[in-house]
Amino acid sequence: NDSLIFNNIMKFSPDPKWEFPRSQLAIEQILGEGEFGRVLRAKALNISGPTGYTTVAVKTLKEDARESELNDLLSEYQLLKEVSHPNVIRLLGVCTEPGGPIYLIIEYCEYGSLRNHLRKSRRLQYESKKLINTEENDYDEPKTSDITPKDLISFAWQICNGMSYLSDIKLVHRDLAARNVLLAADKICKVSDFGLTRDVYEDNAYLKRSKGRVPVKWMAPESLADHIYTSKSDVWSFGILVWELITLGSTPYPGIVVQNLYHLLRQGYRMERPNNCSPALYNIMRKCWSLNPQQRPTFQELSKRFEKLLEDNI
């Protein structure tokens, strides 16, 4: 595995603009891990601007990661270098030089992933209804907070703004879902997890190479059938994400087997309106789920719709 990492790293010459000394990074704990990746919390000394220690998140690989995961991490690094928007996760630095694992240092988001946060807020609402005092959160646990209906619309609006920026610079995310949005202080949403993101070809479509894990329930029909990914297929996923927001982090298409999903969608089947969802909001989701990608709204249009909903809500 060491030689694998070495071989790949040799394809990239360290970028002095981003390289951060390992000696100034103190790993504190594991925030979470997937099959091959791991996210750590760390303190970084004198990173990007302020002097002193900053709490940061560090993305790295597990010991048994495969070459494809390494390539995903390195391509995420290349993409993160290019992006700068308040609603897109920011790269702070990187450790790629020999002497340790590859670390992508990104901004720390104290509430963790939006999906987990939504699910936790359910419990909090339930417990407060029962008038049970919840214990003070300990620092090692992501913070919880009450989520209001207005927060949900604000989250949708912020994600639209991040995605609108990405589509402007011709990046297609390909894995937009509540699990891949992080929530930072002041309830700021940050679109994250760029491992699958690719630059768009001239024809605005990306043909995916065949590869494992695919987020079927978030995917547009044209991505499922023909591996076509565009900003319009990101808009379909965004519609699913809005459904996740409204249901406080439920898994889409409850009770439906993923193998049947494509045929159901082709026949016109769509998720029904959740109980607490306004017809106006459901209408937005349904537009995002138009079979014809051209009939879906753009992120710019969606952002305006949510801005209006926010104003009306006051």
Residue 32 touching ligand ACK (CB under 6 A): yes
State the minimum distance, in angstroms, from the CB of residue 150 to ligand ACK.
22
How far is it, in rounded angstroms, from Cα 242 to Cα 237?
Answer: 9
State the minimum distance, in angstroms, from the CB of residue 103 to ligand ACK.
13
Residue 54 touching ligand ACK (CB under 6 A): no
Residue 104 touching ligand ACK (CB under 6 A): no
Question: One of 64, 146, 151, 175 is an active-site residue; which one?
Answer: 175
106, 166, 219, 242: residue in contact with ligand ACK (rule CB under 6 A): 106
60, 87, 96, 113: residue in contact with ligand ACK (rule CB under 6 A): 113
Q: Token pair of 277, please?
A: 């969802």
Span 185-204, contacts to ligand ACK by CB under 6 A: none
Q: Token pair of 150, please?
A: 């207005």
64 is catalytic: no
> Among the candidate windows 78-86, 104-112, 152-160, 302-310, which touches ligand ACK by CB under 6 A?
104-112
- C-beta closer to ligand ACK: residue 32 or 274: 32
State the minimum distance, in angstroms, from the CB of residue 100 to ligand ACK.
20
> Among the candidate windows 96-104, 109-117, 162-170, 259-267, which touches ligand ACK by CB under 6 A?
109-117
Residue 167 touching ligand ACK (CB under 6 A): no
Amino acid residing at 220: A
- Flag whether 59 is marked binding: yes
Exposed / middle / buried, residue 177 (Cβ in 10 Å: 0-12, 13-18, 19+): buried
> Among the candidate windows 17-25, 111-119, 169-177, 226-234, which touches ligand ACK by CB under 6 A?
111-119
Q: Which of 14, 19, 10, 64 is nearest to 37 (CA)?
A: 64
Provide the angle, in degrees to the nearest 10, between the axes of the packed helices 149-168 and 299-313. 160
Residue 124 touching ligand ACK (CB under 6 A): no
Residue 182 touching ligand ACK (CB under 6 A): yes
Non-local CB neighbours of 281 within 8 Å, separated by 6+ positions: 153, 242, 246, 309
Residue 248 touching ligand ACK (CB under 6 A): no
- C-beta closer to ligand ACK: residue 41 or 217: 41
Non-local CB neighbours of 301 within 8 Å, separated by 6+ positions: none
Residues tagged in the binding site annotation: 59
Residues identified as active-site: 175
Residues found near ligand ACK in the complex (CB under 6 A): 31-32, 39, 57, 106, 108-109, 112-113, 116, 142, 182
